[in-house]
Structure 1
Amino acid sequence: MTGRLLRTIGFDADDTLWQNEQYYRLTEDHFTELLADYAEGPHVSERLLEAEKRNLRHYGFGIKGFTLSMIETAVEITEGTVPATVIAQILDIGRDLLSHPVETLPYAHEVLEKLATKYLLVLITKGDLFDQERKLAQSGLGDFFHAVEIVSDKTAVTYRRAFSKNGEGPERAAMVGNSLKSDIVPALAAGSFGIFIPHALTWALERVEEPMDKPRFRKIDDLGQLPELLETLS
């Protein structure tokens, strides 16, 4: 391994290794139905997104913050008259998110199995600690990782620290993920390669322009293309 340019490969989890956003979308659809007597669905979704953005600095990323934002949105849209029964249903659908099944994405198992013999693999994910630990355990992918980092946010500092602790620094590492904002742009800023794998569903707050001017930026269609790409970088 020491003769390779790349020593460490970091992986995002949600919507990179397993499905996640689709469950949030289904929950949001259910939420808009609960408030159908008070506002149109698109307006409810818009207000919810505003609440999520506003609350990130208070609650961070993950299901608990999403549930609190749904409650806050319901209170605002109904001008404080939301029935307790609706609040109870919001809490129920939030809890359901914490128990949704783990559906790994195509090629996840075989690609990690192959790469684990050549690189140090590090899972770098953000969100609710218990939920991320649950999904990793149920995914069957945990044994492939040298280390797991569940963080409050992903910044260049996050990647410098993770790749220095697990490997030989960010310059000899690559980060793989579906979010340009969280997985790719800050990893590039840290000096790593950023390998973008688009997902059909991406949270609005994670969308930014592709950093085409960055020499270490790469883009592939799916995880199955990753081993071949890494060979060209190593």
Structure 2
Amino acid sequence: MAKNLTTIGFDADDTLWYNERFFRITQERFAELLTDFAPADHLMDRLLEAERRNLGHYGFGIKGFVLSMIETAIEVTEERVPAAVIAELMAAGREMLRHPIELLPHARDTVLSLGADYHLVLITKGDLLDQERKLAQSGLGELFDWVEIVSDKTPEMYHRVFARHGDGAARALMVGDSMRSDVVPAITAGGWGVFIPQGPAWELEKASPPADTSRFFELPTLQPLPDLVHRLD
């Protein structure tokens, strides 16, 4: 009998390894550096506005985040931000790019377990060089059949990727910590979506869970994922 599922897609950041917490640490430092110019909550609102505005120019990732911080610093200080603050923000970005990878619990075991029976595709978005660096440091690269680093995750992207590396979206499942990027568009494309939240989500990755579908699941960690996948088959 043909399997319902033949292909499993995995997100990378905050699904297989920690990522968002380093952005939050840098945001806290950003607020400290500009405490004389704006309260933290107002500063975070302005930063989020800049990030939303700049996604189409810089895409997702650390470099765009740093540029948005610098732009926000210039705006809230009315172009009076000290050069030393700009230098610290740039240094913080370089530190983020150098930060060693720490796998989330059960990441390697889960990927190994599912790789025995399914085609595995890593689907991640962000800066190409940074994502390649993190994948190399993670030690997980050889466990995937294919790796796709994309500019954004949309239903059309999932259609293309799962057609290229599997039997189409209808026989694929996507796993990730982002409702907006990993779950909703994969289900819209015709596949399954498994949401594994990893702490507070970035505002620009939030979305409502898909309604009226049997193809949506939420798990607390990666550990029960193999059992869920085998039940779906």
Pairwise same-fold verdict (TM > 0.5): yes
| 1:5 alignment counterpart | 4
**What letter is aligned with 1:95?**
R
| Whole-angstrom distance in 2 between the partners of 1:3 and 1:107 | 29
Written as runs of structure 1 = structure 2, the 5 A alignment for 1:31-70 is 31-70=30-69
Q: More deviation in 207-216 or 50-59?
A: 207-216
The superposition leaves residues 173-229 of structure 1 with CA deviations (integer Å, 9 ceiling, x where unpaired) of 000001000000000010000111111131111111111322211111110010000
Q: More deviation in 151-160 or 198-207?
A: 198-207
The superposition leaves residues 94-137 of structure 1 with CA deviations (integer Å, 9 ceiling, x where unpaired) of 11111112110010011111111100000000011111111111
| 2:114 alignment counterpart | 115
Conserved? CA contact 1:174–1:193, under 8 Å: yes
Conserved? CA contact 1:19–1:102, under 8 Å: yes
**What letter is aligned with 2:12?**
A
After superposing on structure 2, the runs of 4+ consecutive aligned residues of structure 1 that deviate more than 6 Å are none
TM-score normalised per structure 1: 0.97
Conserved? CA contact 1:55–1:69, under 8 Å: yes
| 1:225 alignment counterpart | 224
The superposition leaves residues 46-88 of structure 1 with CA deviations (integer Å, 9 ceiling, x where unpaired) of 1101110111111111111101100000000000111111111
Q: Secondary structure at the match of 2:159?
A: helix
| Whole-angstrom distance in 2 between the partners of 1:115 and 1:207 | 27
| 1:167 alignment counterpart | 166
Written as runs of structure 1 = structure 2, the 5 A alignment for 1:81-100 is 81-100=80-99
| 1:186 alignment counterpart | 185
Conserved? CA contact 1:8–1:122, under 8 Å: yes
Percent identity of paired positions between Structure 1 and Structure 2: 57
Written as runs of structure 1 = structure 2, the 5 A alignment for 1:194-209 is 194-209=193-208
**What letter is aligned with 1:142?**
G
The aligned length equals 233
| Whole-angstrom distance in 2 between the partners of 1:29 and 1:75 | 17
1:78 matched to 2:77? yes
| Whole-angstrom distance in 1 between the partners of 2:30 and 2:157 | 33
- Any gaps of 5 or more consecutive residues in structure 1? none
Q: Secondary structure at the match of 2:12?
A: coil
| Whole-angstrom distance in 2 between the partners of 1:170 and 1:14 | 22
Closer, same or farther: CA 212–221 of 1 in aligned 2, 3 Å: farther
| Whole-angstrom distance in 1 between the partners of 2:197 and 2:88 | 33
Q: Secondary structure at the match of 2:17?
A: coil
**What letter is aligned with 1:213?**
D
Q: CA deviation at 1:37?
A: 1.2
| Whole-angstrom distance in 1 between the partners of 2:161 and 2:8 | 11
Q: Output the aligned Cα RMSD.
A: 1.0
Conserved? CA contact 1:22–1:201, under 8 Å: no
